[in-house]
């Protein structure tokens, strides 16, 4: 087969290898990544248009084919609201107590310091090994690397890991690359949450370094502990399972992410918060 390779083909093979090396070095250096920025900026309008088209088609499909199921879901939700209203009435007394405690401790009202930028998702990363997506806003809208993305309910979605003028890449909490310092709301156990993709539990999160004697219950809420990156008290997920890690010393818990990643359309980036 070697004799069938023309000189030009051999040169192209050399160029491909050199380009791969150049791209690796370029993306690894701090000043690099200009190629990515240029291509992403060019692609963003196409991705936004395609994404908007897909949303329209999805809405039409849902209207045509899911009307009956939506009606049934509506009825079920009405019943759920009734039962929740009952819960709210009993929670009112607890809330009043809570407010008093807040005043007692002199705490400021929660989250008043947050500043948000909203953005629509225009593309998801096309690899099964990574969980990240691109939004149609970037540095022009005040979005830069290291900002947290949440849902409208304050559930953590991920972290801005790359940003261009009109786009930004958000790595979700499902990706094993992110580590979030977290605490179990009901008991106060601290640990570190990361995506469980690497451990073979796709779609779940793993809370590591829990104390050996920690007692966890299903649906225990896990919140951010608070750091310079993640504001305190954001909901990360709910405990679904717990076990000992390979060392047998520390415990880990598997969490269901609070944010519904499969149906995300829009996210809110916390552009500023008071971390004191």
**Contact footprint for other proteins (CB under 8 A):** 1, 4-6, 8-9, 12-13, 15-17, 19-20, 23-24, 27, 35-36, 38-40, 43, 46-47, 50-51, 54, 122-130, 132, 134, 162, 169, 175-177, 194-195, 197-200, 202
Smallest gap from Cβ 137 to other proteins, in A, equals 16
Instruction: Give me the residue label for tokens 């998801």.
Output: 124
Output 169 or 225, the one with its CB closest to other proteins: 169
Output 52 or 76, the one with its CB closest to other proteins: 52
Output 175 or 220, the one with its CB closest to other proteins: 175
Tokens for 128? 């099964």
Output 121 or 235, the one with its CB closest to other proteins: 121
Smallest gap from Cβ 13 to other proteins, in A, equals 5
Is-contact 269 144, C-beta < 8 A? no
C-alpha distances out from residue 57 to 49, 53, 134, 267, Å: 12, 6, 20, 20
Smallest gap from Cβ 250 to other proteins, in A, equals 18
Output 203 or 211, the one with its CB closest to other proteins: 203
Rounded Cα gap, residues 223 and 254, in angstroms: 14
C-alpha distances out from residue 244 to 50, 92, 203, Å: 45, 39, 20
Smallest gap from Cβ 265 to other proteins, in A, equals 10
DSSP per residue over 82-147, as a string? Answer: HHHHHHHHHHHHHHHHHHHHHHHHTPPPTTTT-EEEEEEEEEE-S-TT--EEEES--GGGT--TT-
Output 45 or 211, the one with its CB closest to other proteins: 45
154 φψ region: left (φ > 0), alpha (ψ -120 to 50), beta (else): left
Smallest gap from Cβ 5 to other proteins, in A, equals 6
Smallest gap from Cβ 180 to other proteins, in A, equals 14
Rounded Cα gap, residues 212 and 50, in angstroms: 49
């Amino acid at each position: 087969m070697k004799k069938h390779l023309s000189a030009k083909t051999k040169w192209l093979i050399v160029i491909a290898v050199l380009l791969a090396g150049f791209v690796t070095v370029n993306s690894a250096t701090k000043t690099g990544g200009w190629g990515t920025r240029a291509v992403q900026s060019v692609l963003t309008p196409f991705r936004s248009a395609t994404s908007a088209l897909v949303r329209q088609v999805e809405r039409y499909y849902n209207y045509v084919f899911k009307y009956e199921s939506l009606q049934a879901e509506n009825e079920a939700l009405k019943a759920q609201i009734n039962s929740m209203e009952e819960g709210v009435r009993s929670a009112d007394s607890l809330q009043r107590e809570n407010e008093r405690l807040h005043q007692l401790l002199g705490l400021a009202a929660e989250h008043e310091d947050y500043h948000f930028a909203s953005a629509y998702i225009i593309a998801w990363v096309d690899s099964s090994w990574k969980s990240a997506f691109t939004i149609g806003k970037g540095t022009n809208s005040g979005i830069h690397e290291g900002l947290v993305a949440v849902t409208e309910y304050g559930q953590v979605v991920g972290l801005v890991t790359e940003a261009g003028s009109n786009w930004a890449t958000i790595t979700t909490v499902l990706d094993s690359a992110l580590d979030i310092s977290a605490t179990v709301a009901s008991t106060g156990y601290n640990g570190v949450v990361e995506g469980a993709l690497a451990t073979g539990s796709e779609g779940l999160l793993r809370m590591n370094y829990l104390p050996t004697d920690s007692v966890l219950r299903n649906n225990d809420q896990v919140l951010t502990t608070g750091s310079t990156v993640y504001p305190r008290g954001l909901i990360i997920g709910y405990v679904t399972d717990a076990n000992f890690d390979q060392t047998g010393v520390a415990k880990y818990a598997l969490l269901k992410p609070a944010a519904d990643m499969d149906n995300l359309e829009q996210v809110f980036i916390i552009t500023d918060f008071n971390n004191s």
